[in-house]
């Protein structure tokens, strides 16, 4: 499933980011379309939204500036986010096992993440075990409520199996 978000999902995400006082996480197996969706949210709200990449570092989606120095290292990326004074959203895709182990070690040390001016959204695989996130973070859902198995026919929602 692509992580391309529709308008309703973006509004839901914006609302959850504004209201939360916790680190957020969402289950997704790939992040295709994520950057475009978040860039749309960034342009709409004026927020600085950074997406972490383990090769390039923290990338600001609103502009094409190079990533801040040393932020390809997750620990340095978190340190950079804590030192910022302006409101920003940090999206941290944790798709590989190696990155997940680094996140567990980092978060188990209970770092002060400065949730007054920063929001954190971890993207984690659906089939993984993430006890730390379950206990200490808030899970969000980005689904629109439709699973793709229904279609609109003659003004009514019907199962696609009826038309197979």
**Domains of the chain, residue spans:** 7-163
The confidence score (pLDDT) of residue 149 equals 57
Fold classification of 7-163 is: Rossmann fold (3.40.50)
In this prediction, residues 14-37 reach a mean pLDDT of: 84
Assign 161 a pLDDT band (cuts: 50, 70, 90).
Answer: low
CA distance 47 to 67: 17
Assign 5 a pLDDT band (cuts: 50, 70, 90).
Answer: confident
In this prediction, residues 86-114 reach a mean pLDDT of: 83
The confidence score (pLDDT) of residue 60 equals 92
CA distance 66 to 50: 12
Task: Give rounded-to-5 percent helix, strand, coil for the chain.
Answer: 35, 25, 45
| Extended strands (E) in 2-75 | 24-27, 48-53, 57-60
DSSP state of 96: S
The confidence score (pLDDT) of residue 1 equals 47
Distances in Å between the alpha carbon of 73 and those of 58, 79, 102?
A: 9, 10, 10
In this prediction, residues 72-97 reach a mean pLDDT of: 88
Report whether 122 contacts 90 (CB < 8 A): no
Four-CA torsion 141, 146, 149, 150, nearest 10 degrees = 170
Report whether 27 contacts 126 (CB < 8 A): yes
- pTM tops 0.95: no
């Amino acid at each position: 499933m692509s992580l391309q978000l529709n308008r309703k999902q973006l509004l839901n995400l914006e609302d959850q980011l504004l209201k939360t006082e916790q680190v957020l996480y969402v289950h997704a197996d790939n992040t295709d379309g994520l950057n475009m969706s978040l860039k749309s949210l960034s342009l709409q709200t004026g927020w600085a939204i950074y997406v972490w990449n383990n090769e390039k570092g923290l990338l600001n989606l609103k502009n094409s500036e190079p990533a801040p120095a040393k932020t390809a290292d997750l620990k340095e990326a978190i340190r950079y986010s804590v030192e910022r004074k302006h409101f920003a959203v940090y999206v941290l895709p944790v798709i590989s096992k190696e990155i997940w182990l680094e996140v567990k070690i980092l978060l188990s040390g209970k770092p002060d993440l400065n949730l007054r001016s920063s929001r954190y959204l971890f993207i984690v695989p659906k089939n993984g075990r993430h006890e730390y996130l379950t206990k200490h973070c808030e899970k969000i859902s980005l689904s629109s409520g439709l699973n793709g198995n229904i279609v609109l026919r003659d003004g009514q929602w019907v199962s696609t199996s009826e038309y197979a």
